[in-house]
Structure 1
Amino acid sequence: MTADLLRILGLWRARRGWLAAGLGVTILSALIGAALLALAGQAVADALGGAAVAAAVSFFLLKPLIGLRPAARWAERMVSHAATFRALADTRVWFFRRLAERLPAGIGLRRSGDLLGRLVADVEALDGLYLKVMVPVAAALALVLVVVALLAGHPLLAAAVALPLALALALPFLLAPGAARAAAEAAAAQGRLRAAAVDPLIGIEDTLAANAEGRAGAALAEETRKLGRAQRRLAGRAALAGAAGTVLGQAALLAALAWGLGGGAPGMTVLALFLVLATAETVGVLPRAGTALAAAAAGARRLLEAADAPPPLTEPAQPADLPTGHAIRIEGLCFAWEPDRPPVFDGLDLDLPEGTRLALLGPSGIGKSSLAALLLKLAAPQAGRITLGGTDLASLAAEDVRRRIACLSQDARLFDDSIAANLRIAAPLAPEAALWRALDRAGIGTLVRALPEGLETRCGEGGARFSGGQARRLALARVLLSAAPVLILDEPTAGLDAETERAFLETLEEVTAGRTVILIAHRLTGVERTTRIIRLAGGRALPAAG
């Protein structure tokens, strides 16, 4: 638990200024509150003792503190929450990047709802590490030290008051290990619940077509019950911790009263009572910080578990310079997606000189898309090598490889954003004129111009605003914005009707002239102008009749 939380704190190093400021303002706010009640207690004690002048001075000093206290509380909330929001934003970006490195070929065996839960709920649980643990513990520690300092002239009173307060200060760390299991169960249950809700909705057409909505609803209800049980166990621990904190606060008050009834100075007794009241708000929430600490640790463990999964390939420590040429050569390539699965390629050899227009044919599962993944450095071969311009792909940075090799996949996705934003994924700085050129070359510029919002038209989730052929042309325009000299067209007409498929392929032939093209397909329609046709079989490349 400790190691995971320390790693999270390490991720927040860039925000240490904000985090330190939040702690500082919180401590200052707590001290102002303590000073306010201490002066009030001193004024009452002086008045009871007949020291009218001293009481008047104390009341006079109270006036500025009365105005400062709410201002300090406002600053405390604003600064500490601003620090938290920035730290959590950094954590989400870090986690996203780690996932992108580890899931280049897609989510695979992971459930999308569970990954969403880790990115959202588990990151949000980390706010408790700062707001519910670090901030109140720092403020409470400062208050306990102030109480001890002000009562130091009476050691017995100081010890009697400070001991229960110090125990309350230690409670979060004493209770967190016991709450860790309940917190881990709650975090896991929340992930399963998100998966049970999101996954059937992602495939809602299949869910409805199979009349499976009832089963999906029952599974969701079951996961909801499991989450409720885990949360009740965690809430029960929080309630017990809160009761323990209340008991300790009351014990500090009773200790001060007992000291006064036992013959202690009335003025010091009143001051001690007011000081204990000053700490009550901050110290009272500390025991619940134990469950917050456990929840943060559970969230951290789930994040790091996914983020630390081994990446499918390792980037070179010292990447080679990108070669000037872009001829591709594959030598003795052996590859399997998993060690316990049969190999996709077993000694594959293939030469693609610059300007080649290759048609790569074969049935589903034969390895066509796997070859595209290898060329894009989304996966790494177990043996053999691939060279680009004579340089081993393994020695090149993936980012550089993808500057030379672009891909239009069979499930190229349009995101729920504007047409312009979807196109600029390939070229973030592309001017509007370049976007229009790409749209015109892809054969869809006229349609986009006719839309009321033009380039600012939203595509809808998964490109739902457009037909299959229109969405494919928009995806093609995005690829054309790239200056990559090598284009992989992975089943680019999948799901299109025959007429749309033929028109789209004719467009492809026109706009890809001059580039190396690898067309991956089940079959050819007759409009493709290829220089070579290769059929994949048994993990090897076999010539096919033209």
Structure 2
Amino acid sequence: MRRDLARVLAELWRGHAGRLAGGAAVAVAAALLGLALLALAGLGVAGAGGQAALAGAGLVSGLAALALLRPLVPLRPLARYAERLLTHEATFRALADTRLWFFRRLAERLPAGLGLRRAGDLLGRLVADVEALDGLYLRALVPGAAALAAVLAIALLLGMLAPRLAAAVALPLALALLAPLALAPAAARAAAAAAASQGALRAAVVDPLTGLEDTLAANAEGRAAARLAEAGAALAAAQRRLAMRGALGGALGGLLVQAALLAALGWGLAAGPEGVAPALLALFLVVAAAETLGLMPRAGAALAAAAAAARRLFQAADQPPPVAEPAAPAPLPPRGHAIRIRDLRFAWAPDRPPVFEGLDLDVPEGARVAILGPSGSGKSTLAALLLKLAAPQGGRITLGGADLATLPAAAVRGRIACLTQDARLFDDTIAANLRLAAPEAEDAALWRALEAARVAELVRALPEGLETRCGEAGARLSGGQARRLALARALLSPAPVLILDEPAAGLDTETECEFLATLDAATAGRSVILIVHRLIGVERPTRILRLIGGRAIPATG
């Protein structure tokens, strides 16, 4: 637990150390102001009867204490306001950077699969687990620092009056401060179970909804509801165990604070008239500290939940990337984009059959190579290898004469663009979807790409034109329209090599013919790798290859 939380602070939040420390310092100041207010109130109430004892310890008299209350009263709410403002701003900034860090780590690792087969669980890690980290700072470190400062101040102040009274009061308060830490390991196990149950619940909700048509067609909604109920019951049980540990910490903390009050009363009764004023001061101080210490049981539960969330994040983010970046990247050749593959060997896993065994392939500049083959023959795998989404176990791929293994992935994808068979349109405007390929592209460039994909007239006819929203997965467009917009996005990229992986997947025969006929003119001047199951006679490739047994065999049609 400690290692995961320390990594969050040292690795993820290091850039916000100043803001985090500043917020904690203001929280400590607010806690000490609360102590000062009640301490002065205690001195004032003690009055003349306690003035001798208190003055002997170097403290102010009762009348002077009451006089000092006035300037301190407005400072307390101001300090509390500043604490909330600074601590929450620091937390929000840290969490925002954490989300970006986690997203980038996922983006590097998703092509090979994270072992997270459920989208709901992955979404939970990105959203809920990152949000749970706010408990590390807002509900654990900040109140812990304030409580520690309060206990130390009480021990110091009472120690000036009566060391035995200070020990009797400060000891139970210190135990109340440390109790959540002692209970944290057991709470961490409960929090880990609750976090896993939350992931399972999200998966039980998202998975059947993602494939709702299939779920309904198979009359499986009842089974999906049963799995949801089971996951919900498991989550409720895990949360109940976590709540019980939090309640135990709260009860223990409350008992220890009461013990401190009783210790102050007992000491005052035993000390007689001389001990009334110090005991009264101690009572006021304990009451002031109770507010801060009352947050510590929740701090223990928050610490456990943050540790469980951090472990889940690091579990996903620490998976090795499918393709390691070269330690000393080589520069891309200034010119040339011919692709050459020699003796390529690749399998997705050691226990799976090889996809390629000695594949040789040449794609000269300006060539239009059609690669045919049935499902499972390695067509899409070849695209993944060319885009550095996977790395071969043997052989060599060169781009413009440079070994792909020595080139940064971003540079390779700047030279090679791809239209995948399941290219997705996002629930955003047409312009935003197109600019995924070229963020700085002007509207004129967007229209040229749309013209090339023969979908510009459709977009012009829409009431909002380029600002028309596509809907989730392009739901507001027909299949052919969505594919043409995806093609326009690929064409907008300046990459000289274009991979078209089953570009007409899911289209009817007539729409497929029209779409493939568009490609000949739209991709003029580029090297094109067309990956399809079959040719229908409108593609006009310069070379045709079939993938058979992990090798590329020349074909005539």
Tell me, yes or no, whether TM beats 0.5: yes
Q: Distance in 2 between matches of 1:415 and 1:468?
A: 14
Aligned to 1:43: 44
SS of the equivalent of 2:159 reads coil
Contact 1:234–1:291 at 8 Å: present in 2 too?
yes
1:283 matched to which residue of 2? 293
Q: Distance in 2 between matches of 1:293 and 1:305?
A: 18
Seen in structure 2, the aligned counterparts of structure 1 residues 534 and 401 have a Cα distance that, compared at 3 Å, is same
Q: 1:229-271 CA deviation, whole Å, 9 max, x = no partner?
A: 0100110110011000000110111111111101152211111
Matches of 1:416 and 1:357, distance apart in 2:
33
Take 2:270 and 2:113, find their aligned partners in 1: how far apart are those partners?
73
Specify which of 211, 215, 228 is matched with residue 203 of structure 1.
211
Instruction: Kindly provide the CA deviation profile for residues 41-84 of structure 1, in whole angstroms up to 9, marking residues without a partner as x.
Output: 11111255479x94333222212222111121111111111111
- C-alpha separation in 1, matches of 2:436 and 2:423: 12
How big is the shift at 1:341?
0.4
Mapping of 1:358-377 within 5 angstroms?
A: 358-377=369-388
Q: 2:477 matched to 1:466? A: yes
Give the conservation status (yes or no) of the 8 Å contact 2:116–2:122.
no
Change (3 A) 1:179 1:246: same
Matches within 5 A, 1:357-396: 357-396=368-407
Q: In structure 2, what is the Cα distance between the partners aligned to 1:16 and 1:420?
A: 39
Partner Cα distance (1:348, 1:119) in 2 = 39
CA deviation profile, 1:438-462 (whole Å, cap 9, x unmatched): 1122111111122122111111110
Whole-angstrom CA distance in 2 between matches of 1:109 and 1:239: 33
Deviates more, 1:145-154 or 1:253-262: 145-154
Post-superposition offset of 1:36? 0.9
Give the C-alpha shift of residue 519 in structure 1. Answer: 0.4
- Paired with 2:426 and 2:75, the residues of 1 have a C-alpha distance of 49
The C-alpha deviation readout for 1:277-325, integer Å capped at 9, x for no partner, is 1100111221332222111111111111111112111110111001121
Q: What does residue 62 of structure 1 align with?
A: 69
Letter in 2 for 1:332: D
Q: Does 1:137 align with 2:147?
A: no
Match of 2:303 among 288, 293, 296: 293
C-alpha distance in 1 between matches for 2:114 and 2:170: 54
- Give the unaligned 5+ runs of structure 2: 53-59
Return the letter of the residue paired with 2:140: V
Separation in 1, partners of 2:198, 2:266: 48
Q: Which residue number in structure 2 is paired with residue 166 of structure 1? A: 174
Letter in 2 for 1:217: A
TM-score w.r.t. structure 1 length? 0.98
Report what 1:419 is aligned to. 430
Is 1:245–1:285's contact at 8 Å kept on the other side of the alignment? no
Contact between 1:238 and 1:291, CA under 8 Å: does it hold in 2? yes
Q: Which residue of the partner structure matches residue 55 of structure 2? A: none
Does 1:95 pair with 2:102?
Answer: yes
Q: Residue in 1 aligned with 2:25?
A: 24
**Aligned 8 A contact 2:371 2:544 in 1:** yes
Residues 1:83 and 2:90 are matched in the alignment = yes
Whole-angstrom distance in 2 between the partners of 1:78 and 1:455:
41
Match of 2:418 in 1: 407
**SS of the residue aligned with 1:347?**
strand
* SS of structure 1 residue aligned to 2:361: strand
Cα deviation, residue 416, structure 1 = 0.8
* Map of 1:251 onto structure 2: 259
Structure 2 CA distance, aligned partners of 1:106 and 1:444? 34
Query: How far 1:388 sits from its partner (Å)?
Result: 0.3
Q: One-letter code of the match for 1:467?
A: S
Shift of 1:110: 2.1
Partner of 1:216: 224
CA distance in 2, matches of 1:286, 1:478: 54
Shift of 1:432: 1.6
Unaligned runs of 5+ in 1: none
Instruction: Kindly indicate whether residue 449 of structure 2 is the aligned counterpart of residue 438 of structure 1.
Output: yes
1:348-376 per-position Cα deviation (integer Å, ceiling 9, x unaligned): 00111111100000011110000000000
The CA deviation at 1:433 is 1.5
- Residues 151, 49 of structure 1: alpha-carbon distance in 2 compared, 3 angstrom cutoff: closer
Match of 2:8 in 1: 8
Asked whether 1:351 is paired with 2:362, we answer yes
Q: Percent identity?
A: 71
TM-score (norm 2): 0.96
Q: Is contact 2:16–2:94 with CA below 8 Å preserved after alignment?
A: yes
- C-alpha distance in 1 between matches for 2:314 and 2:200: 17
1:457 aligns with 2:458: no
Counterpart code for 2:179 = L
User: 1:104 offset after TM fit, Å?
Assistant: 2.2
Distance in 1 of aligned mates of 2:50 and 2:185 = 49
Could you tell me whether the CA contact under 8 Å between 1:105 and 1:373 is conserved in 2? Answer: no
Looking at structure 2, the residues matched to 109 and 77 of structure 1 have their Cα atoms a distance apart, in angstroms, of 37
- Corresponding residue SS for 1:472: helix
Aligned to 2:499, what secondary structure does the other structure show? strand
- Alpha-carbon distance in 2 for matches of 1:164, 1:238: 19
Aligned partner of 1:151: which letter? Answer: L
The alpha carbon displacement at 1:109 in A equals 5.6
Q: Is the Cα–Cα contact under 8 Å of residues 369 and 528 in structure 2 kept in the other structure?
A: yes
What's the CA shift for 1:127?
1.0
> Aligned partners of 1:107, 1:478: CA distance in 2, in Å?
28
Give the equivalent residue in structure 2 for 1:178: 186
C-alpha distance in 1, partners of 2:74/2:443?
A: 55
Which of 135, 138, 144 is the aligned partner of 1:128?
135
Q: Which amino acid aligns with 1:181?
A: R
3-state SS of 2:418 partner = strand
Task: Provide, for residues 61-119 of structure 1, a one-character-per-residue CA deviation record: whole Å limited to 9, x for no partner.
Answer: 21222211112111111111111111111111111111111112566762111101111
2:556 is the counterpart of 1:526: no
Q: Distance in 2 between matches of 1:107 and 1:437?
A: 38
Secondary structure of 1:115's aligned partner: helix
Secondary structure in 1 aligned to 2:82?
Answer: helix
